[in-house]
Structure 1
């Protein structure tokens, strides 16, 4: 499509957008009495209008039923984690038995590392991208130390080539081959939080398995953003949060994927809790942990109902929209943002994009490297009603989300930025 840098062209694209009605399903913040230009769904998704109803229904059932709500609520609490399975499976390209909503992302990451990072004298290294999100870095560091390894020696962090901003897939695969005999685990962010790069999960997983290592992914910036095929790609495990593109609210319940090839492997080490124990005997309080087959067997605690209700509200919208349709709009919407940014600064004097130009190698987010006065420009954008995201030392992250952002949003952002920097 040939883009145009005009408000009329942006409105024309909005009129042609088959997903345009979904914007009205969300509550948009206001700045200075006007609807904000919200571009931080990569950090915290907007609240669906139905979230309050979903949560209130649980509060009503709690008020009316008390403890009996576990079996007699309109969505019985004992089985609440099952209600999100089909939608999460579709978003991750998994089977319902392979996914579960539980805990928080880093808690889930530690639980998965207990099971899937099993170092030996020969195989003990973890390979990941340089500059992974700090929570992941801390998890890798402390897990290595827990097993008696020095992170300086056992953690391999891949950097882009000199002068480049993202990792080449061939360099990742080469590093896996090079370190193969010593690798225990290969783990990347599905979409890199800082650069916005969407890694090739399939190729990375294949290379890890050829090397004899496990393959896992942090999908915090990927789920609800890009198409995933965890089951067919033979990914061993994955974890994610639900407050970004999944719009489940601040601190929302997170999730995990465990491939069905590990579903009945009770010999895998794990930190167990009663909600992962054989459901038929859960309330018999017997000794001896018997894990439920599938991802449910990694649960440790019963389900936080109010958080899960908020997730259900958002997943209902995803089921209607479908990730396939959202991805198609996302590529067009983010492509339009890239076009607008290039139009503003064709000589690249003021800023540069860190994110890959290939739409297949990115999601919604574009990371804009500011060459000068970055923080000052960001503050002016904020004062003008743009809610974007600043990442030290010099990057503005902008994420046009297809569920609620419009092409006119993108054009207006560009118009404001042009007046600031030109």
Structure 2
């Protein structure tokens, strides 16, 4: 055993090893749902023991051994045998399971993290279920941590994860990596899940806090993992760059009392220069390599913002050109909403409001608080204070985020 480590280091280790341990068990024994439960138990044991006893010399081996023993306990349960009597994967004798103790089997260094990401983003799962299962199985987060991050009761999240595992099992999910077009589609689904996790962490959709940093941090960690596993995938590189460039602004996004600080008013000296440099470098290397996709374009837009010394020095013409290209490659009303701001900054707020009228005709965004907040901002730039205040108040009424509500209400108050 090594010396007693800091708890944060232990958490990092457990999250790093969680998918490796689960992949090893699933590949050996099958039954993803039961193996995942066993790994979670092993992670909990490690979180309790390692801070006091120190990290084992072979932490991954320790986790595999403990998880295997937990699996044996489940197999030996009469009730479990009745539930799984037709499962060939768990027909392995308990003695054979224990014979495969990880410390006695050091030769298996295969990393099944990519296969696990594919499995957790199974097409038969809903997006919320994909997110929950990914964070638990690949991210190593507990059900309680995931529930807290998404502001739902732990029992609700537990049911969601349980149903997701049952769905994967019923669909016959395995660690076999898909090929060709199927693989391309699954990678896109994994990227989308990580993008949703990051966005929820960067701007929480509800609750008293503007952000949920643990979600954004985990999304970045998993995006780094995906980029390491697929280094030639330019959209994965673009997604990671986008996350880095966006998260770099987090320290300046809130004031002393937790209030929201808009991009134009942020103290750019508080931005994380290391993340900015890493993100700019990554997207600069990626863009010339091949076909440009939506994540790369969003990262390029973020880079233009982050490289500007001040809000006034922002190259809005370049941002508008990038949004126009993004709208052609990945059209959706939120992209058009953002393009409206760029149009306003280049051609004036009246032109931006005309674009917003187009967005308002899209039912997906017609009653969204961000459409109203953007309209209020452009009306304010146009000098229409009374209309702007009314739009700010209506946007505040519709948002479920307390910090955003306070910010919008304060903007309306300032306009009278």
TM-score of the aligned structures, taking structure 2 as reference length: 0.23
Q: Which has the higher helix share?
A: 2
Higher relative contact order (CA 8 A, sep 6+): 1
Q: Which has the higher strand share?
A: 1
Q: Which of the two has higher C-alpha Rg?
A: 2
